[in-house]
């Protein structure tokens, strides 16, 4: 994760968003240690000292934004021959969601943390492909989900066509197949359709996805097409996916310019024995989303985190985090 900077995009909402990050750090630390990037590491560590040094590590970072899902390392297991498998951290290039925003500090953040010792002795491999973590979903068994609108957008890898991008994903991530989704969009989204705002893998045969039952909402038709697309997909074993629809959040709007904010319950975070689910101050829909995910994760506890503040910069819970396997630090 990355602590919101006082001189960054969060400045107008700093007390509110830092309160959200404190709650998020506390919730995650009940299940896993937290590695936190910060422009002011000493002050940040002091503010979060109640979590304990065993559960929180703070590292100095040039990161400008807090969306570590998109510029943090993506971990794969690399074969080491007789030694078995070991984690490899992939540092894909980040260019501010297709050049929409300045991203130099964010693009350097993973390498800076690695050089500072944040990831133990695990190797880091720079990758020239522009890729955000929120743009892919993996089932851990050879299948990658992504969206055409994001990975084929001209601001990311304009020199590559779909076949070349798919080949790169298979080579870098050890996948056997890539499923491209062509429908679904959220009002207010500035990522060109990240998969983690629309469809999530709960296990290799189960998909949770955003649905909209309000025919007057602009997202209704695209999300209905997405649902039909998912119904036609097949697992690697050849059967249909088990589909779990998530409710459509009540519309939220930016306080400064009135723009629709991209609220979504699909932006949940899977932890060790728990699933953190974003809530948005709408009890009926919040509870419906938690109930749906309880069916998808019967062996996990479901915990709600109010992520209303994160919407103000067009993200939510999953966007604000990047999981690192424990083996990285061993």
- In the three-class reduction of DSSP (H, G, I as helix; E, B as strand; rest coil), residue 34 is classed as strand
For residue 6, count other CB atoms closer than 10 A to its CB: 12
Q: Is 319 designated active site?
A: yes
Rounded distance between C-alpha atoms, residue 212 and residue 226, angstroms: 11
Closest CA to 265 of 181, 190, 186, 204: 186
Rounded distance between C-alpha atoms, residue 18 and residue 47, angstroms: 10
User: Is there a contact between 208 and 200 (Cβ–Cβ < 8 Å)?
Assistant: yes
For residue 52, count other CB atoms closer than 10 A to its CB: 10
Pick left, alpha or beta for residue 193 (phi over 0 → left; psi -120 to 50 → alpha; otherwise beta): left
- In the chain, count H helices and then E strands: 9, 14
- In the three-class reduction of DSSP (H, G, I as helix; E, B as strand; rest coil), residue 144 is classed as strand
User: Is there a contact between 97 and 132 (Cβ–Cβ < 8 Å)?
Assistant: yes
- In the three-class reduction of DSSP (H, G, I as helix; E, B as strand; rest coil), residue 89 is classed as strand
> Rg for the chain (alpha carbons), in Å?
19
Residues with Cβ within 8 Å of residue 240, at least 6 apart in sequence: 231, 233, 234
Q: Which helix (H) or strand (E) holds 199?
A: strand 199-203
Choice among 150, 202, 212, 319 that is catalytic:
319
Rounded distance between C-alpha atoms, residue 223 and residue 227, angstroms: 6
Pick left, alpha or beta for residue 211 (phi over 0 → left; psi -120 to 50 → alpha; otherwise beta): beta
Q: What's 90's DSSP letter? A: E
Q: Which helix (H) or strand (E) holds 293?
A: helix 283-296
As annotated, the active-site residues are 319
């Amino acid at each position: 994760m990355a602590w919101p900077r006082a001189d960054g995009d969060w400045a107008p909402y700093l007390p509110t968003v830092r309160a959200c990050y404190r709650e998020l750090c506390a919730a995650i630390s009940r299940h896993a240690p937290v590695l936190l990037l910060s422009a002011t590491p000493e002050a940040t560590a002091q503010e979060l000292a109640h979590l304990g040094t065993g559960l929180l590590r703070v590292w100095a970072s040039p990161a400008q934004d807090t969306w570590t899902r998109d510029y943090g390392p993506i971990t794969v297991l690399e074969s080491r021959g007789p030694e078995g498998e070991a984690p490899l951290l992939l540092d894909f290039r980040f260019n501010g969601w297709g050049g929409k925003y300045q991203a130099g500090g964010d693009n350097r953040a993973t390498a800076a943390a690695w050089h500072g010792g944040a990831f133990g002795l695990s190797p880091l491999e720079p990758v020239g492909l522009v890729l955000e973590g929120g743009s892919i979903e993996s089932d851990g068994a050879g299948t990658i989900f992504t969206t055409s609108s994001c990975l084929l957008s001209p601001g990311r890898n304009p020199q590559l066509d779909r076949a070349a991008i798919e080949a790169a994903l298979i080579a870098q991530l050890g996948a056997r197949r890539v499923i491209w989704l062509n429908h679904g969009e959220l009002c207010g989204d500035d990522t060109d359709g990240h998969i983690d705002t629309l469809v999530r893998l709960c296990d290799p045969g189960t998909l949770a996805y955003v649905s909209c039952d309000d025919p007057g909402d602009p997202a209704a038709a695209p999300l209905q097409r997405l649902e039909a697309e998912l119904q036609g997909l097949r697992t690697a074993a050849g059967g249909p996916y088990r589909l779990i629809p998530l409710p459509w959040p009540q519309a939220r709007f930016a306080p400064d310019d009135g723009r629709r904010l991209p609220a979504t319950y699909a932006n949940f975070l899977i932890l060790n024995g728990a699933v953190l689910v974003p809530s948005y101050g709408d009890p009926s829909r919040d509870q419906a989303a938690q109930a749906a995910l309880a069916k998808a994760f019967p062996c996990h506890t479901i915990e709600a985190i109010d992520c209303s503040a994160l919407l103000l910069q067009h993200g939510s819970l999953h966007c604000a985090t990047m999981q690192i396997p424990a083996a990285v630090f061993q």
